[in-house]
């Protein structure tokens, strides 16, 4: 069962991510129409990043508001695994390019690695810490 802090976090995160979808769609449409260059290109590319800053801020708020320290600990551990996945993906791609690879991973592959690692960590903690029937 989700704690009040977790429910609030999920609700707000859903709003922020919906905002991201809308913002990304608008920016994508504008970029496709005007083919921006220079500062306009930079601004347009920065706009869809803002919801992610919001999501990170929401995570910070959740960690501050979550009263259950064990759950807080698990979330931090999952986020660390996610961060590790992102760093590994980034380093791997960097080394590939240094060693002469000319290909390209799909956009946001590092972010994808973050989610995959965080989710895998969450599932493994859930299995390792499964709660038996109450006595």
Partner 1 sequence: MNNRLRVLRAERAWSQADLADKLEVSRQSVNAIETGKYDPSLPLAFKLARLFGQRIEEIFQDDV
8 versus 71: smaller Cβ distance to partner 1: 71
Q: Is 127 in the site for partner 1 (CB under 8 A)?
A: no
Residue count, binding to partner 1 (CB under 8 A) = 14
Cα 109 versus chain centre, distance: 11
Q: Which long-range contacts (CB under 8 A, 24 or more apart) does 53-62 make?
A: 54/16, 54/19, 55/13, 55/16, 55/17, 58/9, 58/12, 58/13, 58/16, 59/9, 61/9, 62/5, 62/6, 62/8, 62/9
Which residues from 64-103 bind partner 1, rule CB under 8 A?
67-71, 73
Helix (H) or strand (E) holding 76: helix 69-98
Contact (CB, 8 A) for 16 and 58: yes
28 versus 68: smaller Cβ distance to partner 1: 68
Q: Which of 1, 39, 98, 127 binds partner 1 (CB under 8 A)?
A: 1
37 versus 129: smaller Cβ distance to partner 1: 129
Q: Which stretch binds partner 1 (CB under 8 A): 10-18, 19-27, 33-41, 61-69?
A: 61-69
Q: Is 129 in the site for partner 1 (CB under 8 A)?
A: yes
| Contact set with partner 1 (CB under 8 A) | 1, 3, 67-71, 73, 128-129, 131-132, 134-135
């Amino acid at each position: 069962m989700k704690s009040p802090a977790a429910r609030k976090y999920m609700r707000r995160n859903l709003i922020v991510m919906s905002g991201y979808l809308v913002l990304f769609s608008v920016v994508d449409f504008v970029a496709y129409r005007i083919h921006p260059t220079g500062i306009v290109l930079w601004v347009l590319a920065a706009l869809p990043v803002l919801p992610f800053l919001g999501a990170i801020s929401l995570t910070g708020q959740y960690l501050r508001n979550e009263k259950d320290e064990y759950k807080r600990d698990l979330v931090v551990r999952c986020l660390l695994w996610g961060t590790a996945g992102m760093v590994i993906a980034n380093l791997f791609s960097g080394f590939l390019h240094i060693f002469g690879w000319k290909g390209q991973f799909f956009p946001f592959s590092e972010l994808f690695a973050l989610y995959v690692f965080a989710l895998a960590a969450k599932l493994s903690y859930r299995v390792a810490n499964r709660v038996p029937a109450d006595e």
